[in-house]
Amino acid sequence: MQSSVHLSNIFDPISTPAQAILELSWLVLWICAGIFVVVVGLLVYTIIRFRRRHADDDEPPQVYGSTQIELAWTVMPLLTVFVLFLVTTRTIKAVQDAVPSPDAVHVTVVGHQWWWEIRYPALGIVTANELHVPVSHQEQPQPTFLQLQSVDVVHSFWVPRLAGKMDLIPNRDNHMWIEPRKPGIYLGQCAEYCGTQHANMLLRVIVHAHDDFERWVAAQQQPAVHDPSVQVGHDLFQATACVNCHTVRGTPANGTFGPDLSHLMSRATLGAGVVDNTHPNLRAWMRNPQHLKPGNLMPDMQLTPQELEHIVAYLVTLH
């Protein structure tokens, strides 16, 4: 699954909204570059042409006002701003007015301090920090529409190669959409300061070929694996406060405060991208959650070393 992780780059869009924004950005950059060249050119010309020469110490002619020049420097900026206004409005409208096609994927993304809850209401899937979507081909478009919410403070969803930024605001539904045209893993992050671990609120979007996406959906829809060989860890997990915050589908654990753990091991990272999701990192996280990501809301459960081993052994079976 770790095939190709693509770094963020706003100049290399692979999704329709990001492409539209890049085209607008280039237009604005070129217009501004043109203005810059004209202004600096006139400035340099004036400095050289009208510099003080030794010979003439006379006061230059004093000119007060020129209707033509004042009209020129009023009308030209007005026209420029008007053009920028029109093209910006056109792009915003094109990005915001997109209508979901019948086979569009609908996802609700909920911002938490400091992780992403990712729900697929129509598919009955809940996961965290990894948004899985199908690739969208021109012949067979399958865009993904996101509903953005927050349970605490304002966050911002930003995957530069897929779309612009959009805030997640408490008590408000925001919307955005992506239409990735190339399978791969695209990195994003929270783009609005949301507390001490804002920088560790990372996000990855995994774009699957159509069949791979169907397989991922089918696997995530399964209840959590029940492995009798880790029954002790399972029972310990169910008997501690873990279940108040975490859900493991098919067991009594149904907390919603923290990430859903039903398919924990299908995810690549822990703590929203803080470390890779490996056995030793999971143990380190469980031993003291405040060590790897200080300030996060998971408390130290004060487990004995034996309890820790049993619970970790249980969690690593949750594929």
Measured CA to CA, the distance from residue 21 to residue 83 in angstroms comes to 16
Rg over alpha carbons for the chain, rounded to the nearest Å, is: 27
Select from 136-144, 173-181, 185-193, 222-230 the region that touches ligand CUA (CB under 6 A): 185-193
Is residue 201 close enough to count as binding ligand CUA by CB under 6 A?
Answer: yes
> Using alpha carbons only, what angle is made at residue 314 by residues 311 and 318, rounded to the nearest 5 degrees?
130
**CB of residue 151 to ligand CUA, shortest distance in Å:** 11
**Of these, 13, 109, 114, 145, which contacts ligand CUA (CB under 6 A)?**
114
Question: Which pair of structure tokens corresponds to residue 169?
Answer: 């605001």
**CB of residue 292 to ligand CUA, shortest distance in Å:** 17
Please say which residue, 199 or 209, places its beta carbon nearer to ligand CUA: 199
Strand ranges for the chain from DSSP E: 5-6, 105-112, 115-120, 125-128, 130-134, 144-150, 155-158, 166-168, 174-178, 184-190, 202-208, 269-270, 275-276
Is residue 165 close enough to count as binding ligand CUA by CB under 6 A?
Answer: no
- Read off φ and ψ for residue 313, nearest 5 degrees: -60, -35
DSSP states of 41-87 as a string? HHHHHHHHHT---SS--SPPP-----HHHHHHHHHHHHHHHHHHHHH
Measured CA to CA, the distance from residue 319 to residue 301 in angstroms comes to 23
Q: How many residues bind ligand CUA (CB under 6 A)?
A: 9
Q: Specify the long-range contacts of residues 251-258, CB closer than 8 Å, at least 24 apart.
A: 251/224, 257/297, 258/297, 258/298
Please say which residue, 190 or 206, places its beta carbon nearer to ligand CUA: 190
Q: At 146, is the secondary structure helix, strand, or coil?
A: strand
CA distances from 165 to 39, 74, 100 (A): 32, 34, 19
**Of these, 106, 181, 182, 198, which contacts ligand CUA (CB under 6 A)?**
198
Please say which residue, 193 or 257, places its beta carbon nearer to ligand CUA: 193
Please say which residue, 119 or 155, places its beta carbon nearer to ligand CUA: 155
Select from 25-33, 84-92, 188-196, 234-242 the region that touches ligand CUA (CB under 6 A): 188-196
The terminus-to-terminus CA distance of the chain in angstroms comes to 14
> Using alpha carbons only, what angle is made at residue 173 by residues 110 and 144, rounded to the nearest 5 degrees?
70
**CB of residue 298 to ligand CUA, shortest distance in Å:** 16
* Burial category of 155 from C-beta neighbours within 10 Å (exposed 0-12, middle 13-18, buried 19 and up): buried
**Of these, 14, 190, 207, 236, which contacts ligand CUA (CB under 6 A)?**
190
- From residue 92 to residue 111, the character string flagging contacts with ligand CUA as x (rule: CB under 6 A) and all else as - is -------------------x
Please say which residue, 111 or 271, places its beta carbon nearer to ligand CUA: 111
Query: According to CB under 6 A, which residues from 203 to 242 bind ligand CUA?
Result: none
Please say which residue, 201 or 316, places its beta carbon nearer to ligand CUA: 201
**CB of residue 171 to ligand CUA, shortest distance in Å:** 16
- From residue 255 to residue 274, the character string flagging contacts with ligand CUA as x (rule: CB under 6 A) and all else as - is --------------------
**CB of residue 188 to ligand CUA, shortest distance in Å:** 11
Please say which residue, 198 or 210, places its beta carbon nearer to ligand CUA: 198
For residue 228, give the DSSP letter.
G
Please say which residue, 114 or 237, places its beta carbon nearer to ligand CUA: 114
Q: Are 147 and 108 in contact (CB under 8 A)?
A: yes
Binding interface with ligand CUA (CB under 6 A): 111, 114, 155, 190, 192-194, 198, 201
